[in-house]
């Protein structure tokens, strides 16, 4: 008998953290809803035309009393709609959204109360903070922020960013696991760069007590990282757009984040954003606190805690300051972003427009290249 199809209800709450492969893991879950269901595993979903994973996003917003990323009121009642699917299922349920990571104790108590009668588990994916922070800055820029990298890191060190609350491994797991046995709190470490792409999925499945091949459809790479010129271009665009558009204009978010950032800028091959060598000591100390807590807590660790410890900077690799960018590199990124925006607006062949854009960009680039350095450096 399939243990996931028995009468007992087991609910896995994957609460983050952001920028730890959550988009990939969620896309894999939502892309294999049918096959997982045949094995007794429910991943609650919205109708296909509204996006399979939208229900989890909106349910998290509803729980947290927030309302952004869509039309006003779009999150109201979403948690109850998700719960209605959970209550009709007997077996394993997976709920996943990284917004839940820094949820306050009263929200956690509400969730556990409304899942009373189920065997609840919490799953948290964690990543080396030296890789995590540059990725978080890029995500903040994708979401419309205009903060320079140096300012972002200063605020991160001071604990003044939402991201740092979501990344605070001991606090998140103490809050979510306060009423649970340690064995039902699962920490999944994100493998280091260059590891087998399937390794994170296999570890995640181990935490969920499911078989990896129950979800055979592998999503294409999503939420890819941008390089330095692309991130700076988007940051400057955000600064300019902030004067003209509402923060919660979902059409604006689609064009900027999905079309320009994901479909255009993230596809370019540029120097990656890396942590400054001067920031490695405090980040290494932070990771040491995370791993020390995890070892002493008795929680279930899937993976290797040493993967959360940053590798020392390569002395032979020159660090590139993301806040100082050559005008030509910015111009080339701007041209590709312009073409993506034109394609989205015209829904036609952008090649003739690209030739015109190149001519204009050439003139603009000539002006920029005569400056000693970019004015935003």
Does residue 186 belong to any structural domain of this protein? Answer: yes
**pLDDT value for 245:** 55
Kindly report, residue by residue over 61-74, the tens digit of the pLDDT.
Answer: 999 999 877 778 88
> Is 162 found in the same domain as 257?
no
Does residue 1 belong to any structural domain of this protein? Answer: no
- Phi and psi at 126, nearest 5°, equal -130, 155
- Two tokens, residue 65: 């009393």
**pLDDT value for 61:** 96
Mean pLDDT value of segment 266-276 = 91
- Two tokens, residue 111: 């969730």
Q: Which domain holds residue 265?
A: 228-271+326-369
Kindly report, residue by residue over 188-208, the tens digit of the pLDDT.
Answer: 999 999 999 899 999 999 999
The span from the CA of 87 to the CA of 47, in Å, is: 18
The span from the CA of 252 to the CA of 229, in Å, is: 21
pLDDT: is 355 or 9 the higher one?
Answer: 9
Kindly report, residue by residue over 214-233, the tens digit of the pLDDT.
Answer: 999 999 766 678 999 999 99
- Two tokens, residue 269: 């091959």
Question: Across the chain, what does the average pLDDT equal?
Answer: 87
For the cut 70, the answer to whether the pLDDT of residue 367 exceeds it is no
> Is 132 found in the same domain as 25?
yes
Does residue 303 belong to any structural domain of this protein? Answer: yes
Give the total number of structural domains in the chain. Answer: 2
Bond before 17 cis per omega within 30 degrees: yes
For the cut 60, the answer to whether the pLDDT of residue 364 exceeds it is no
> Is 233 found in the same domain as 104?
no
> Is 200 found in the same domain as 344?
no
> Is 162 found in the same domain as 16?
yes
> Is 219 found in the same domain as 349?
no
The span from the CA of 260 to the CA of 266, in Å, is: 8
Does residue 111 belong to any structural domain of this protein? Answer: yes
pLDDT: is 50 or 11 the higher one?
Answer: 11
> Is 264 found in the same domain as 191?
no
Does residue 204 belong to any structural domain of this protein? Answer: yes
Does residue 335 belong to any structural domain of this protein? Answer: yes
**Could you tell me the pLDDT band of residue 370, with boundaries at 50, 70 and 90?**
very low
**pLDDT value for 28:** 96
**Is 81 in a helix, a strand, or coil?**
helix
- CATH number of the domain that 135 lies in? 3.40.50.300
For the cut 70, the answer to whether the pLDDT of residue 83 exceeds it is yes
> Is 248 found in the same domain as 153?
no
* Percentage of the residues of the chain whose pLDDT score is greater than 90: 66
> Is 280 found in the same domain as 266?
no
Kindly report, residue by residue over 174-191, the tens digit of the pLDDT.
Answer: 999 999 999 999 999 999
> Is 252 found in the same domain as 182?
no
> Is 216 found in the same domain as 155?
yes
> Is 76 found in the same domain as 182?
yes
Task: Tell me how far the alpha carbon of residue 320 is from its chain's centroid.
Answer: 24
Kindly report, residue by residue over 277-325, the tens digit of the pLDDT.
Answer: 999 999 999 999 999 999 999 999 999 999 999 999 988 899 999 999 8
- Two tokens, residue 215: 């979800």
**Could you tell me the pLDDT band of residue 355, with boundaries at 50, 70 and 90?**
very low
Kindly provide the residue ranges of all beta strands, DSSP E only, lying in 105-207, ordered along the sequence: 119-126, 185-189
Does residue 376 belong to any structural domain of this protein? Answer: no
Model pTM score: 0.86
Kindly report, residue by residue over 114-150, the tens digit of the pLDDT.
Answer: 999 999 999 999 999 999 999 999 999 988 889 999 9
**Is 93 in a helix, a strand, or coil?**
strand
Does residue 114 belong to any structural domain of this protein? Answer: yes
Work out the number of other CB atoms within 10 angstroms of the CB of residue 129.
Answer: 26
């Amino acid at each position: 008998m399939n243990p996931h199809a028995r009468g007992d209800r087991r609910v896995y709450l994957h609460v983050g953290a952001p920028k730890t492969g959550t988009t990939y893991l969620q896309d894999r879950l939502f892309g294999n809803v049918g096959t997982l269901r045949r094995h007794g595993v429910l991943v609650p979903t919205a109708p296909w035309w509204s996006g399979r994973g939208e229900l989890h996003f909106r349910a998290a917003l509803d729980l947290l009393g927030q309302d952004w990323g869509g039309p006003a009121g779009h999150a109201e009642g979403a948690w109850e709609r998700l719960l209605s699917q959970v209550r009709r299922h007997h077996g394993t349920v997976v709920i996943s959204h990284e917004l839940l990571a820094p949820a306050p104790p009263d929200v956690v108590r509400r969730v556990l109360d409304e899942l009373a009668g189920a065997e609840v588990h919490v799953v948290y994916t964690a990543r080396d903070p030296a890789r995590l922070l540059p990725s978080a800055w890029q995500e903040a820029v994708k979401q419309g922020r205009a903060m320079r990298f140096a300012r972002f890191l200063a605020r991160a060190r001071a604990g003044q960013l939402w991201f740092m609350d979501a990344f605070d491994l001991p606090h998140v797991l103490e809050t979510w696991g306060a009423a649970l046995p340690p064995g039902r709190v699962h920490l999944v470490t994100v493998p280091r760069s260059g590891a087998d792409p399937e390794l994170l999925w296999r570890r995640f499945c181990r935490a969920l007590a499911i078989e990896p091949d129950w979800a055979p459809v592998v999503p294409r790479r999503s939420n890819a990282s941008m390089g330095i010129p692309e991130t700076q271009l988007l940051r400057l665009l955000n600064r300019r757009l902030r004067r003209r558009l509402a923060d919660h204009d979902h059409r604006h978010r689609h064009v900027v984040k999905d079309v320009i950032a994901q479909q255009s800028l993230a596809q370019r091959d540029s120097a990656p954003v890396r942590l400054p060598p001067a920031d490695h000591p405090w980040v290494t100390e932070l990771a040491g606190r995370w791993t020390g807590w995890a070892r002493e807590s008795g929680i279930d660790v899937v993976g290797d805690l040493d993967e959360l410890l940053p590798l020392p900077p390569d002395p032979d690799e020159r660090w590139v300051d993301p806040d100082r960018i050559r005008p030509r590199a910015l111009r080339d990124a701007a041209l590709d972003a312009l073409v993506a925006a034109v394609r989205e607006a015209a829904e036609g062949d952008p090649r003739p427009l690209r030739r015109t854009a190149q001519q204009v960009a050439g003139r603009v680039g000539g002006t920029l290249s005569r400056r000693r350095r970019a004015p935003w450096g």
